[in-house]
Amino acid sequence: MERIYTDKIEINKIDNKTHKKIRFCTDKSYHKLVFEFQYSPKLVDKIEDIEEAFDSNELSSLKNSFISSEEKINNLLTLSLYCDDEYIGCAHRHNYVQIIEISESKSTEGFKKTKLVASAWELIISVHAAYSNNIQAVINIYAV
Amino acid sequence: MLYREEKEMGFKWIRIQTHVHTVHSDGGNTLEEMACAAKAEKVDAMLLTDHNTMAGGENAKEVCEKIGIDIIQAIEYTTFYGHIIALGAPYFRWEKIDQYNLNALAEHVHKYNGIIGIAHPRQIGDPICTGGTFNFKAVDFKKIDFIEVWHGVSNKNNEWENNEKFWLDIVKFGNDITCLYGGDFHKKEQFKESEAFNWMQISEEQSITEAIKAAIINGRVIMSKGPCFNMNIKSDKFSYSMGDTVEGEGKPFYNVCIEPVKNTFIGKIKVKLVDNIGVLYEIDYKEQDKLIVTLTENIERRWVRTEIIDSIKNELLAVSNPIFFKNNRS
């Protein structure tokens, strides 16, 4: 398996509800592409971050119960893929470590089976929730 | 499973779940497992509404044929400002949807004769469930076909009442938007856990997808935990069903006819006729084939609907979509 792309992106509270785009190209056919996507921290555990997350919206009355109890709020990033401008899919799941495989015969759930020829790829990291600063998102792409 | 047929109209009632997730997003079961669970609860059809993907539809036909339940490909666009369900249109780049351009998504869906609806408008939102509450601005509600008023496995924190208030606030301005139940099932067990589903009156002349779209657009839907019924207003010239609009007949009174569908009214039941002002009529159901209520004209009346109540538990069992009155709109 050959790593053909790697990137690390820092996401902060100011990036909440934005999309980060990554573009890369493959110059030949492959049997399978493997996208390794992970981000951290998943849980928002700093009290000041929890306070700030609740202060700016209608649920501020719930703030104290989240600070004092076991319940936590999460940062949430998801990954969507386009190949030559065609939508391949999205892994809208709460796992903060995701391994996504794309091939002509089988793809990870959420993604269409796709023939892998030389193509222009677009990855969209959607920042559904960034309530912490310094969230580190890493993407590695491997080809087989 | 078919229930009572409206032979003279070529319609039939089906049970349908309109909001279902699988492993293709954050659901815990495969499409086949969810379809099996739906079939076990006598569901005739379900919309596949995974978050931001239609990949689950790749084996939908195979699952349909194997399990014997209609599966209609849809999608839940899980945006930062609300969750939007669409079916019948190609994928729309949801990252292009900002807080002010939901209308663009609606126009795209309608361009392909699809339908679009608002999921759980008053579900808990940020920061607990990101984007869970509907927060779009500058929305042309004439472009929206349906709203989930009943939502989820059960009614938590009065969400259903808050969703209904959201829907009523839109309806009062002349937007005849269909209301329906969205289970939002993420696990196969939820088909059984939730007592609610939609009865939908569909045409037998159309394909299942077209028939479901038409039923939703035309408001032929009952949110229900069991009871099913026909509701009509009949005049000399016309017959109006749920979802229809009575237009300017200028009559001093109307006869509303409520006909329970056999074997769906179980236990001690109360039937209520309600309009936007309040309760018009209430009666204990005693296995009548038909209930006819005469309404006198009221210029303040914008809509009328039927509610079915469990008399013992005082629990709402079913709510029809309204029949609207056009002359009385502001």
As a three-state string, the secondary structure of chain B is CCCCEECCCCEEEEEEEEEECCCCCCCCCCHHHHHHHHHHCCCCEEEECCECCCHHHHHHHHHHHHHHCEEEEEEEEEECCEEEEEECCCCCCHHHCCCCCHHHHHHHHHHCCCEEEECCCECCCCCCCCCCECCCCCCCHHHCCEEEEEECCCCCCCHHHHHHHHHHHHHCCCCCCEEEEECCECCCCHHHHCCCEEEEEEECCCCHHHHHHHHHHCCCEEEECCCCEEEEEECCCCEEECCCEECCCCCCEEEEEEEECCCCCCCCEEEEEEECCCEEEEEECCCCCCEEEEEECCCCCCEEEEEEEECCCCEEEEEECCEEECCCCC
Q: Which residues pair with A136 in a beta bridge?
A: A10, A40
pLDDT tens digits, B117-127: 999 999 999 99
Structure tokens at A102: 């794309």
Give A140's contacts (C-beta < 8 A, 6+ positions apart): A3, A5, A6, A35, A36
pTM beyond cutoff 0.90: yes
Q: Is the pLDDT of residue B5 over 60?
A: no
pLDDT tens digits, A73-86: 999 999 999 999 99
Mutate: best of B130, B134, B162, partner A, most A CBs <10 A: B130
Q: Where does the pLDDT of residue A67 fall: very low under 50, low under 70, confident under 90, or very high at 90 and above?
A: confident
Quote the percentage of chain B above a pLDDT of 70: 95
Q: B50 and A110: CB-CB below 8 Å?
A: yes
Answer whether B262's CB lies under 8 Å from B4's CB. Answer: yes
Mutate: best of B80, B98, B123, B184, partner A, most A CBs <10 A: B80
Q: Considering only residues B320 and B325, tell me which one the structure prediction assigns the higher pLDDT.
A: B320
pLDDT tens digits, A84-137: 999 999 999 999 999 999 999 999 999 999 999 999 999 999 999 999 999 999
- Residues on chain A touching B124 (C-beta within 8 angstroms): 59
Structure tokens at B193: 């856990």
Answer whether B82's CB lies under 8 Å from B76's CB. Answer: no
Q: Is the pLDDT of residue A63 over 50?
A: yes
Structure tokens at B185: 């099932």
Nearest to A87 among B91, B127, B130 (CB): B91
Q: B55 and A128: CB-CB below 8 Å?
A: no
pLDDT tens digits, A18-29: 999 999 999 999
pLDDT tens digits, B137-196: 999 999 999 999 999 999 988 999 999 999 999 998 888 999 999 999 999 999 999 999
A110 min Cα distance to partner chain B (Å): 4
Structure tokens at A27: 């110059």
For chain B, the distance separating the N- and C-terminal CA atoms, rounded to the nearest angstrom, is: 42
pLDDT tens digits, B217-256: 999 999 999 999 999 998 777 889 999 998 866 677 789 9
Answer whether A13's CB lies under 8 Å from A131's CB. Answer: yes
A54 min Cα distance to partner chain B (Å): 7
Q: Where does the pLDDT of residue A68 fall: very low under 50, low under 70, confident under 90, or very high at 90 and above?
A: confident
Number of cross-chain residue pairs from A and B with Cβ atoms under 8 Å apart: 71
Q: Is the pLDDT of residue A57 over 70?
A: no
The pLDDT score that the predictor gives to residue B31 is: 98
The pLDDT score that the predictor gives to residue B28 is: 97
Average pLDDT in chain B: 93
Q: Is the pLDDT of residue B8 over 60?
A: no
ipTM of the complex in this document: 0.95
Q: A58 and B95: CB-CB below 8 Å?
A: no
Q: A58 and B125: CB-CB below 8 Å?
A: yes
pLDDT tens digits, B252-272: 778 999 999 989 999 999 999
Nearest to A76 among B24, B56, B130 (CB): B130
Q: Is the pLDDT of residue A47 over 70?
A: yes
